[in-house]
Amino acid sequence: GEQQMLAIARGLMAEPELLIIDELSLGLAPKIVDQLMRVLADLNAAGLTILLVEQLASYALAIADHAYVIANGRVARHGPSADLARDPEVMEAFLGKKKKAAA
């Protein structure tokens, strides 16, 4: 977690308009990932645009305004993150939640 935080700080030294982050959660404990995601959310709220590539969709969708879901190398879905987080196919394929059967 410290290395990722240092990498983010180094990137911020140049006062960028866009920060690109790839697989922030890789190899980290969930508690550390939570902390780093809060930092990203705070930076975004302060006006920084962030492009986050993240395999843990639940983390990314929780802090993103807009998201792209990639499957088999292609954009499978895109739109507001809140909509994607409720999309039954996204929920089943990427968030590990089963679709509810139609009544």
Measured in whole angstroms, the distance separating CA 12 from the mean position of its chain's CA atoms is 18
Nearest CA-CA partner of 81 in 36, 24, 41, 33: 41
- Residue showing tokens 């550390």: 32
Give the angle subtended at the CA of 11 by the CAs of 7 and 17, to the nearest 5°.
145
CATH number for region 2-94: 3.40.50.300
pLDDT per residue over 21-65, tens digit each?
Answer: 999 888 888 898 999 899 999 999 999 999 999 988 888 899 999
Q: What percent of the chain has pLDDT over 90?
A: 39
Q: Are 33 and 63 within 8 A, CB to CB?
A: no
Per-residue pLDDT for 8 more than 90? Answer: no
pLDDT of res. 99: 54
| pLDDT given at position 71 | 84
Q: SS3 for 40?
A: helix
Find out whether 19 and 49 touch, Cβ atoms under 8 Å.
Answer: yes
Q: E-assigned strands of 1-103?
A: 18-22, 49-53, 66-71, 74-80
Residue 100: what pLDDT?
A: 56
Q: What pTM value is reported for the model?
A: 0.75
Which of 40, 87, 88 lies closest to 64 in space, CA to CA? 40
